[in-house]
Each structure stands twice: as structure tokens, then as C-alpha cells.
Amino acid sequence: MPSYLVVTPISEQALEVLASLVDEPFETDHPDCLTIDEAGLIGIDRIRELKNFLARRPYSRHSQQVFVPHAERLTIPAQNALLKTLEEPPEQAQLVLAARHESQLLATIVSRCRIIRPTLTTLKQTSDIAPELISLLKLPIWKRIQLAGRLGYPKERAKDWLVKATYHFREELRLKPTLNTLANLKLTLETLARIEANVDPRLALEELFLQLLTSGQEMGGGGD
């Protein structure tokens, strides 16, 4: 998984975006979850802790999750020490940083992360997207392409829709986990990352809308 930087002044919003990005709930007391935070500056010793944490294998999950809710508090030496891990995170690692503004971090830190800038209303409106997603999955191909054209511009509109869809699939996965929902979550995250990397939003949404799946059977359920 790529490293993410959530740019928002609202800590609760960063937590909600975190929940939409990781494949399992982030729990502060879980041995496979690590929060790097301090009331003051965050020094290089905490980055050593992070690296030691990622050097071992997960205890009971498929991945290890690291959340830095106030990345702007990282000292310059700490940021420099973090660069290599952000650029080449271990395969099992999920790293999410949050900051009020990317200008508070070294440009080299920012360049190694996928940037997410949720709007103030994005996560409060996720329930609005559920009927739209249900309808989307029933549309013929040509209407899905037509919808992608409407949502694809401007770029921020496409990103806003994708963040809401990501959160929706994350909640759906928590309440009723299915392989199709997991696949939809991963596809949506990949599409968001592609748009952040300057892929044409309309084309990226077209590809996503043609791949989205209906919910399907619950994970772990048996067939008839």
C-alpha cells in the first residue's frame, strides 16, 4: 500500500479518512497498530520506534498500521529519518500521516505520499452516496460511462465522490463483509490514487464504474 498524507485541519476528519484507507479497523491498543504522536515535537526516537515496529511481522493481522495524526510536529531530523520508509514501505505496512497543511512538512515527505484533501462536508455526506452506488451497479455500460462523464470534472468533484465512496465501502465491509465489497474498496482507493497522480478523472471513473461489483456473498459464508 502506498503511504498517504491526509491534509485537513480537523483531527476527526483525519481519523475518518484513516478508517476508509486501511483494510482493518485501526485500534490504538492492538499490537499491529501504532500511533506516533506527542503533545510537543516528535523526535527521531519515535521514528526508530516506527521502524522497529515495521521490522517484525504482524501478530494477528495481514498488515501493520501506522498513523501519525500530527505529522507537522515531526522534527526535521525525524522527517528525514522517515523518508526511506515512506518511499519503500514494507509490503505489510499501511502508513497514514495527517497534517493541517503540506507546507508544514518537507517537500520530500510530501512527494513520497499520496495526498488526500477531504472537503469539510465529504465525510458527513457519505450516507447520500449509498443510493447512488446501488443505482450505479444496476446501470448498463453506456449509462455508467455517462455518469463518469458527469462526475469526472472538475477533478476535485471526482476526488470528493471517491472519498465518500471509499468510506461507504469501508462501512459496508465492517457491517457485512463480502469479497466483492473488499474488491470495490480496493478499486476505489486505486482510482483515487490514480487521479492524485494526474490520470484523467473521467477516464479513471469510467474504468472504475465498469469494474464495480454487487455486494455478493458474505466472507466466510458457505455455498449451497
- Note whether 18 and 69 are same-domain residues: yes
Same domain, 57 and 111: yes
98 and 146 inside one domain: no
Alpha helices for the chain (secondary structure H): 11-21, 44-55, 76-87, 107-111, 126-136, 141-151, 155-175, 179-196, 201-211
Residue of 73, 122, 100, 83 whose CA lies nearest to 3 = 83
- Same domain for 61 and 156? no
Q: What is the pTM of this model?
A: 0.57
Please name the residue that has the C-alpha cell 509490503.
Answer: 91
What is the pLDDT, as a whole number, of residue 217?
A: 47
Is 24 inside a domain boundary? yes
Residue 217 falls inside a structural domain: no
Q: What is the distance, to the nearest Å, from the Cα of residue 179 to the centroid of all Cα atoms in its chain?
A: 18
Dist. CA 4–CA 116, nearest whole Å: 7
| 94 & 146 share domain | no
How many structural domains does the chain have?
Answer: 2
Domain of 18: which CATH number? 3.40.50.300
Q: Assign 95 to helix, strand or coil.
A: strand
What residues contact residue 106 under an 8 Å CB cut-off, 6+ apart? 76, 79, 80
With contact defined as beta carbons under 8 Å apart, do 171 and 107 qualify? no
Among candidate residues 64, 95, 116, the one where a domain is terminated? 116
Let me know if residue 216 belongs to a domain: no
Q: What is the pLDDT of residue 128?
A: 66
| Domain of residue 49, residue span | 4-116
What local confidence, expressed as pLDDT, does residue 117 receive? 82
- Pairing verdict, β 93-99 and 114-116: unpaired
Q: Kindly state whether residue 84 falls inside one of the protein's structural domains.
A: yes
Give kind and range of the element (H or E) at residue 35.
strand 33-35
What whole-number distance in Å separates Cα of residue 1 and Cα of residue 84? 15
What's the rounded Cα separation, in Å, for the pair 53 and 219? 29
64 domain-assigned = yes
Q: Which residues pair with 5 in a beta bridge?
A: 97, 115
Domain membership flag for residue 223: no
pLDDT in tens, the chain (224 residues): 779 999 987 676 787 788 878 878 888 899 999 999 998 999 999 999 999 999 999 999 988 999 999 999 999 999 999 999 998 888 889 999 999 888 999 999 999 998 988 765 555 555 567 788 888 888 899 999 999 999 998 888 888 788 888 878 877 887 788 888 889 988 998 998 888 788 999 999 999 999 998 755 454 554 44
